[in-house]
Amino acid sequence: MTSAQPSYRLPPGPEEPVALGIDPETLTTLTRLQRDYGDMVSMHRPNGRLAYFINDPVEVHRILARRHTRYRKGPGFERVKMLLGNGLIVSDGDVWRRSRRMIQPAFGRQNIHRLVDVMVECSQRRDRHWSRLAANGEQCNITSETSDFALELILISIFGKDYDDRIITDGENPFAFLSRDSARDLSVVLRVRHLRELLTSIIEDRKSGKHAESFDFLSVYLSAVDKHGKGFSRGELLDELMTLIVAGFETSANTLNWVWYLIASYPDIEARIIAEAERFLPDAESVNSESLMAMEYTQQVLEETLRLYPPVWLFTRRAHEDDELADYDVPQGTDIYLSPFILQRSEHYWPDPDCFDPERFAASDGNKKDRPYFPFSLGPRRCVGEYFSFMEMKVHLGLLLPRFRMLRVDDSRPELELGINLRSANDIFMKPVRR
């Protein structure tokens, strides 16, 4: 058992220090610790700080939802803060609560439904591009394609007509490097800072009444006020916009990348999605909130993909006051590690956990609500854009899968890139065939 103050009841764990980061070695380490010590493990990091790995779904829910006020963001968020500033993903306490309340209305379902036409437009652009590839017998970089789709969609959803007028000025997207470079190192941080100058210019023009839009996320963010009637400062607004751009495309892009890869090996699942799409989305004009909500099987496919490949594979928290979990104490300052990737592949809760089986999420499955599942986190910090993401992915699959069959070009299984986000380590190439 890890040594600590005698008054503390600590979970079992190794005596030697344990190095943890956000990398493949950490996944291997946490998997081993869970196997050797159980679902609650204590350890000391090389810097001497006490850390827990929690793989118990009841305690995960307690940390993220019921007692979320006792925990703040943990180790690893320094890199995110360098990139995004103090936006919704990074902020804590009163700053986070204020921002969340101001931003929440933008993601109300009625507002998301107003962006369905943008989702259709971006899907149709993929349709035209893939048609050219198919006609020429060329391969498709599905990783790049899904990233381009999701990035274009979030940028148009944020900036409206300013996307064409102010961002795509010479045919190039200055934000494109975000989908191409996953390193999130200092060079990327510097390029992001340059983009903030462009965003500042667009914001100032909007404030002066230029390029007014009937609806886009920027217009909602600009009009948002807190309980004192105060809006975002320029710095706060820039942080929240960069957070929305990066978080708004990465989840959907990575999930769609895995979906296309998975269904290429499951013709029965592919056929069921196509049949559902042909029933509810026979053409682009039929796409609306009602038809998308009716696509229940497609929803199951997306949820099962997110079970296997959660966009954030590791959450960290830090206790900012003493707490208790199960039969153990959590001293103030303890680092907490939680992994959707590990818990959502635990055989105890998910039989045959590595198998791709959308039926796990069927409405008739009585065990559905009892299984641990938190790809978008839990509690008050659950992803504000979850509904937006599911809607855009349903439009994408509903319009494109009935028109194209994506064939794998090899049988190799993609390796995982375990950084801040879970990605495929290498781009996935497929061959589009027009149906």
Region at 382 (left for phi over 0; alpha for psi -120 to 50; beta for the rest): beta
Tokens at 405, concatenated: 């069959």
Instruction: Show me where the domains of the chain are located.
Output: 24-434
pLDDT single digits (tens) 255-307: 999 999 999 999 999 999 999 999 999 999 999 999 999 999 999 999 999 99
In whole angstroms, give the CA distance from residue 378 to residue 343: 14
Q: What are the tokens at 110?
A: 């009625």
pLDDT of residue 169: 77
Rounded Cα–Cα distance for residues 346 and 352 (Å): 9
Per-residue pLDDT tens, the chain, 435 aa: give them: 444 455 899 999 999 999 999 899 999 999 999 999 999 999 999 999 999 999 999 999 999 999 999 999 988 877 778 778 889 998 999 999 999 999 999 999 999 999 999 999 999 999 999 999 999 999 999 999 999 999 999 999 999 999 988 898 777 888 888 877 666 566 677 777 788 889 999 999 888 876 655 689 999 999 999 999 999 999 999 999 999 998 889 999 999 999 999 999 999 999 999 999 999 999 999 999 999 999 999 999 999 999 999 999 999 999 999 999 999 999 999 999 999 999 999 999 999 999 999 999 998 766 666 789 999 999 999 999 999 999 999 999 999 999 999 999 988 899 999 988 899 999 999 999 998
Other C-beta atoms closer than 10 Å to the C-beta of 303 total 17
Residue 430 near residue 260, CB atoms below 8 Å: yes
d(CA 170, CA 174): 10
Q: What pLDDT, on a 0 to 100 scale, did the predictor assign at position 396?
A: 98
Cα end-to-end span (Å), the chain? 60
Q: Where are the alpha helices (DSSP H) in 114-215?
A: 116-135, 142-159, 162, 177-180, 186-207
DSSP-derived secondary structure letter, 56: -
Structure tokens at 233: 């400062």
**Residue 132 is which amino acid?**
R
Which pLDDT score, from 0 to 100, does residue 409 have?
92
Q: For residue 152, give the 3-state DSSP assignment.
A: helix
| Long-range contacts, stretch 287-291, CB < 8 angstroms, 24+ apart | 287/116, 287/119, 287/120, 287/395, 287/398, 287/399, 288/113, 288/116, 289/109, 289/113, 289/116, 289/391
Alpha-carbon dihedral sign for residues 10, 14, 15, 19: negative
Residue type, 281: L
Question: Cα dist. 279→115, 271, 301 in Å?
Answer: 22, 12, 17
CATH: 1.25.40.10, 1.20.1250.20, 3.40.50.920, 1.10.630.10. Which one for 24-434? 1.10.630.10
The CB-side HSE value for 70 (13 A sphere, CA atoms) comes to 19
Q: Residue 417, SS3?
A: strand
Size of the chain, expressed as the number of residues it contains: 435
Q: What are phi and psi of 44, to 5 degrees?
A: -115, 135
Residues 55-113: tens digit of each pLDDT:
999 999 999 999 999 999 988 877 778 778 889 998 999 999 999 999 999 999 999 99
The reported pTM is: 0.93
